[in-house]
Amino acid sequence: MKRVFSGVQPTGNIHIGNYLGALKQFVELQDENECIYCIVDMHSITLPQEPKELKKHILDVAALYMAVGLDPKKSTIFVQSQVPGHAQLSWVLTCSSYTGELSRMTQFKDKSKGKESAPAGIFTYPVLMAADILLYDTDIVPVGNDQKQHIELCRDLAIRINNRFDKKVFVVPDGRFMKSGARIMALDDPSAKMSKSAPNPKSRISLLDEPGAIKKAIMSATTDSEGTIRFDLEEKPGISNLLNIYSAFSGLAVEDIEKKYEGCGYGAFKKDLVEVTVDALAPIRERFGEIRNSKELTDALKDGAEKANAISEKTMQRVYKTFGLGI
């Protein structure tokens, strides 16, 4: 059985990019693997969060994990800050990281914009992510495409430390990416990734959006003037993004969807995509409502933190011993 680990930040409304790129894989993997899914609240404070909002968002993400189909009997679900091992291992890994490699991370460059006042947390963010993964001897990390560089860094750190001590201190993990959901683009600008923080709410579809909001976002999505439904990332990024979303929600191959809509206009295609999306999200919204304020949710997180701590403590003993820390 392989060990799977991944995390989502509690920074706002989870959108269909997060779902199709990451959460959908979480569910697929839970039957055949030992899965550990984290709500990475310590990552979220790399940028200031309003404490009350953060508390709410942590439980929102946990409830969404369960609403999309994660079963706490099969998967371990917990909140990162409840397991001290993440911060402990992060420091050890920080001391094995190079400032050069961290300054080359595209997410750091995008978010810091070269400013002296950029928080140091955005610089060391990928090290904390590597700690999350290595703490659990993870084999597989299901994520969206935007995390490829961070996974590479995590692998480099594991290999570097294993080589230094000439033994397998850490398992070297592999990323896992979806075929049609790995990179969902913004609906209003298909050159940018769909994001929780973009100012235009019509740029994204959140998992808890009402059918009316879903319709508005899809019907106003940016396309092109050619009028044919054809997958072409270079020439037709808007339509290609909608085809990806259609494919990921319906399970149909992109080629089959192209055939289905041969000779049809964008209006008809978009109308059907609204239906496909609304149908896919309705059960998630319903289950979220049932679970969000339940004892089932808080019990699952308590149980998850206990299980995670048990694994984490073992790893930290091994790591401290390897590095000669403690007495």
Query: Alpha carbon 310 to chain centroid distance?
Result: 24
197 counts as binding ligand ATP under rule CB under 6 A: yes
CA distances (Å), origin 47, targets 50, 112, 191? 10, 11, 24
Compute how many other C-beta atoms are within 10 angstroms of the C-beta atom of residue 308.
Answer: 25
7 counts as binding ligand LTN under rule CB under 6 A: yes
Answer yes or no: 196 catalytic.
Answer: yes
Report in angstroms how near the CB of residue 140 gets to ligand LTN at its nearest.
10
For residue 43, give the H/E element and its range. helix 41-44
Answer yes or no: 193 catalytic.
Answer: yes
* Annotated active-site residue in 74, 196, 202, 216: 196
Sorted by sequence, the CB contacts under 8 Å of residue 323 that are 6+ apart come out as 92
- 186 DSSP assignment: P
85 counts as binding ligand ATP under rule CB under 6 A: no
**Binding-site partner at residue 59 among ligand ATP, ligand LTN, none, CB < 5 to 8 Å by type:** none
158 counts as binding ligand LTN under rule CB under 6 A: no
Sorted by sequence, the CB contacts under 8 Å of residue 108 that are 6+ apart come out as 102, 122, 123, 125, 126
Phi and psi angles of residue 208, each rounded to the nearest 5 degrees, phi first = -100, 10
Look-up of token digits 């403590």: 313
60 counts as binding ligand LTN under rule CB under 6 A: no
143 counts as binding ligand ATP under rule CB under 6 A: yes
Residue selected from 35, 68, 184, 273 as contacting ligand ATP according to rule CB under 6 A = 184
Report in angstroms how near the CB of residue 71 gets to ligand ATP at its nearest.
20
Measured from each CB, the residue nearest to ligand LTN is 7
8 counts as binding ligand ATP under rule CB under 6 A: yes
72 counts as binding ligand ATP under rule CB under 6 A: no
Return the residues of window 165-224 that contact ligand LTN according to CB under 6 A.
none
Answer yes or no: 111 catalytic.
Answer: yes
75 counts as binding ligand LTN under rule CB under 6 A: no
Query: Alpha carbon 205 to chain centroid distance?
Result: 15
Report in angstroms how near the CB of residue 15 gets to ligand LTN at its nearest.
12
Q: Are 243 and 257 within 8 A, CB to CB?
A: yes
Q: Tell me the one-letter amino acid at 321.
A: K
147 counts as binding ligand LTN under rule CB under 6 A: yes
For residue 249, give the H/E element and its range. helix 237-250
Residue selected from 16, 68, 133, 229 as contacting ligand LTN according to rule CB under 6 A = 133
- 77 DSSP assignment: E
For ligand LTN, which is the closer residue by CB, 106 or 294? 106
Q: Cα-atom radius of gyration of the chain, to the nearest Å?
A: 21
Size of the site for ligand ATP (CB under 6 A): 20
Burial of 86: CB neighbours in 10 Å, binned 0-12, 13-18, 19+: buried
17 counts as binding ligand ATP under rule CB under 6 A: yes
193 counts as binding ligand ATP under rule CB under 6 A: yes
> For binding to ligand LTN (CB under 6 A), which residues are involved?
5-7, 9, 40, 43, 129, 132-133, 141, 143, 147, 150
Residues annotated as catalytic are 111, 193, 196
